[in-house]
Amino acid sequence: MIERRVSLSLPHRVFFTEGVFDPAQTLLRDVLCPAEAEANRVRRVLIVLEKAVAAGQPGLEAAIRAWFAAQDGLLVLAGLRIIPGGEPCKNDWPLVEELWAAINDAGIDRHSYVIAIGGGAVLDLVGFAAATAHRGIRLVRMPTTTLSQADGGVGVKNGVNHFGKKNWVGTFAVPFAVINDFRFLESLPVADRRDGVIEAIKVALIRDAAFFREMETEAAALARLEPAILHRVIQRSAELHVQHICTGGDPFEFGSARPLDFGHWIAHKLEQLSGFRVSHGRAVAIGMAADLQYACLAGLLTAEDRDRILALMERVGFILWADELLAVNSAGQLVVLRGLEEFREHLGGELCITLVTAPGEAREVHEMDDALVQQALEWLRGRTAVPALT
Ligand SMILES: NC(=O)c1ccc[n+]([C@@H]2O[C@H](COP(=O)([O-])OP(=O)(O)OC[C@H]3O[C@@H](n4cnc5c(N)ncnc54)[C@H](O)[C@@H]3O)[C@@H](O)[C@H]2O)c1
Ligand SMILES: [Zn+2]
């Protein structure tokens, strides 16, 4: 028997800026051509840009081309592809092959770059194509939604949907760099712009009571999605997510604990039950609300803290109910409960659900009581004063 350790220590860098392709901006140049590394090597770059971003920011494509044209011969724009985005792009396997072909046509090797500009779905798709081309080429992510800037885009996972299952095929790969450019958010519809705030509230509830209090103080400005507070909230959320990945001890998720998936077991099921009518952010708000009431019923959270947290979520504009939650199967059981089983399967064995016990404090439980979940959902529905279901 031979046994050794394979050790890797990779930098994980997230930059914050506005207008990365403005003519005077040098951040991207500094990232792609670090002074200390092989100064004379030519770097080829393939840009993959989401269609909705290109359409929402009409000058962007020209600005990208002009920015690269102004570089010297060491930094070459070898291709620019515009692809559709949103969740459907992760269900479209031919797109993966198109991206591989684009990477091949642009002559991108392991010292060149793919830059993905888009929402979390596009980043997942392009990230997967990049991680599997040449066994992994350098990827720079430029997330364009609040949710991906605050959470998924700064992570180390990629993937597309397969066999009708979300993220069934994918890899863990640390991006070469992430550039959060707040200018990209300007074309995002208001409801989508609000979505990222819930991941910030989520990570504050689990990790950072002071951040939670800050959002309470700024709730009115946050509800108006004022850029100054929105950017600050995205930045702190990204920081806490990256801190978890880099210091949590399990960046590639070998264990079963997923502390940052608070509220997500119901959210994933609700997104699916609603045929994706309910967006991820809105579903997470509802999932968190239900698990907060569950924790309250289980004696883990005071009613006062529960009300305080729900109040913040509602003040910033989230509606904490969706009728799909009361869908039942032919045996009269709540379909959403199936989400617990799916979450357990996703973790690969032991169920591990994070519950908040106070703002900034959380604990894990390994079983959930179906009757209490049902009571929590009924309570949530009751307080939202929705019409009775028939
Ligand atoms: N890899 C991870 O760790 C991770 C973590 C969380 C979520 N995710 C994945 O991320 C995806 C969700 O990402 P998302 O919330 O960013 O949503 P999204 O990518 O679906 O984008 C939401 C909508 O906004 C549009 N859009 C994106 N940027 C825009 C812009 N700047 N202007 C105008 N329109 C724009 C998109 O076309 C889409 O219609 C899901 O597939 C989820 O599974 C991945
Ligand atoms: Zn999420």
Q: Where in the sequence is the domain holding 27, given as residue range(s)?
A: 14-187
Question: Per-residue confidence at 269, pLDDT binned at 50, 70, 90?
Answer: very high
Domain total in the chain: 2
- On whether residue 5 sits in a domain, the answer given is no
- On whether residue 137 sits in a domain, the answer given is yes
Alpha-helical segments (H) within 133-218: 146-150, 190-207, 209-217
Distance (Å, whole) CA 206 – CA 265: 16
Q: Minimal CA–CA distance to 225: which of 198, 205, 202?
A: 198
Residue 83 CA, ligand 2 centroid: distance in Å: 23
Task: Kindly give, in sequence order, each residue whose CB lies less than 8 Å from that of residue 22, ignoring residues fewer than 6 positions away.
Answer: 63, 67
Distance (Å, whole) CA 153 – CA 123: 7
Q: Please report the pLDDT score of residue 390 as a whole number.
A: 40
CATH number at residue 299: 1.20.1090.10
As a whole number, mean pLDDT of residues 287-301 equals: 98
Strand partners, 48: 81, 116
* Among protein residues, the one whose CA lies closest to atom 40 of ligand 1: 121
Is 19 found in the same domain as 168? yes
Task: Point out the ligand 1 atom lying closest to the alpha carbon of residue 166.
Answer: 43
Residue 261 CA, ligand 2 centroid: distance in Å: 7
Q: Is the pLDDT of residue 388 over 70?
A: no
Q: Is the pLDDT of residue 34 over 90?
A: no
**Per-residue pLDDT reduced to its tens digit, 126-161:** 999 999 999 999 999 999 999 999 999 999 999 999
User: Phi first, then psi: what are they for 214, rounded to 5°?
Assistant: -60, -45
- On whether residue 375 sits in a domain, the answer given is yes
Distance (Å, whole) CA 108 – CA 11: 22
Q: Please report the pLDDT score of residue 385 as a whole number.
A: 64
Distance (Å, whole) CA 317 – CA 321: 12
Q: Minimal CA–CA distance to 14: which of 252, 208, 182?
A: 182
Helix (H, G, I), strand (E, B) or coil at 75: strand
Question: Per-residue confidence at 246, pLDDT binned at 50, 70, 90?
Answer: very high
Percent of the chain with pLDDT over 90: 83
Is 78 found in the same domain as 46? yes
Is 255 found in the same domain as 109? no
Ramachandran region, residue 253 (left: φ > 0; alpha: ψ -120 to 50; beta: rest) = left
Distance (Å, whole) CA 176 – CA 115: 10
How does DSSP classify residue 182? Answer: G
Is 203 found in the same domain as 183? no
Is 116 found in the same domain as 21? yes
Q: Please report the pLDDT score of residue 220 as a whole number.
A: 97
CATH number at residue 144: 3.40.50.1970
Pocket-testing residue among 139, 144, 270, ligand 1, by greatest number of atoms within 8 A of Cβ:
144
Is 70 found in the same domain as 107? yes
As a whole number, mean pLDDT of residues 202-217 equals: 98
Q: Which residues line ligand 1 (CB under 6 A)?
A: 50, 52-53, 56, 85-87, 90, 118-122, 124, 144-145, 147-148, 151-152, 155, 157-158, 184, 187-188, 192, 195, 280
Q: Which of 69-78, 125-134, 197-206, 325-334 has the lowest mean pLDDT?
A: 325-334
* Among protein residues, the one whose CA lies closest to atom 3 of ligand 1: 152
Question: Per-residue confidence at 217, pLDDT binned at 50, 70, 90?
Answer: very high
* Among protein residues, the one whose CA lies closest to atom 5 of ligand 1: 152
Is 380 found in the same domain as 265? yes
Domain boundary among 187, 209, 236: 187
Is 152 found in the same domain as 85? yes
Domain boundary among 187, 215, 233: 187
Is 212 found in the same domain as 286? yes
Q: Please report the pLDDT score of residue 389 as a whole number.
A: 45
Q: Minimal CA–CA distance to 354: which of 281, 287, 278?
A: 287
- On whether residue 200 sits in a domain, the answer given is yes
Q: Is the pLDDT of residue 78 over 50?
A: yes
Q: Please report the pLDDT score of residue 386 as a whole number.
A: 54
Question: Per-residue confidence at 178, pLDDT binned at 50, 70, 90?
Answer: very high
- On whether residue 231 sits in a domain, the answer given is no
Q: Which of 186-195, 230-239, 333-342, 358-367 has the lowest mean pLDDT?
A: 333-342
Q: Please report the pLDDT score of residue 350 as a whole number.
A: 85
Q: Please report the pLDDT score of residue 344 as a whole number.
A: 82
As a whole number, mean pLDDT of residues 54-69 equals: 98
Residue 37 CA, ligand 2 centroid: distance in Å: 36
Domain boundary among 160, 187, 214: 187
Helix/strand number for the chain, H first, E second: 15, 10
Mean residue pLDDT of the chain comes to 94
Is 207 found in the same domain as 351? yes
Distances (CA, A) of 198 to 148, 206, 240, 254, 288: 12, 12, 14, 26, 9
The set of long-range contacts for 376-379, using a CB threshold of 8 Å and a minimum separation of 24, is 376/290, 376/291, 376/293, 376/294, 376/297, 377/290, 377/325, 377/326, 377/334, 377/336, 379/293, 379/297
Global pTM value: 0.95
Is 357 found in the same domain as 333? yes
- On whether residue 233 sits in a domain, the answer given is no
**Per-residue pLDDT reduced to its tens digit, 325-381:** 989 999 888 999 988 888 888 777 789 999 999 999 999 999 999 999 999 999 999
Is 52 found in the same domain as 153? yes
- On whether residue 377 sits in a domain, the answer given is yes
- On whether residue 40 sits in a domain, the answer given is yes
Task: Point out the ligand 1 atom lying closest to the alpha carbon of residue 124.
Answer: 1
CA neighbours closer than 13 Å in the CB half-sphere of residue 325: 26
Residue 195 CA, ligand 2 centroid: distance in Å: 10
User: Phi first, then psi: what are they for 8, rounded to 5°?
Assistant: -135, 140
For residue 55 the two structure tokens come to: 């359409």
Residue 264 CA, ligand 2 centroid: distance in Å: 7
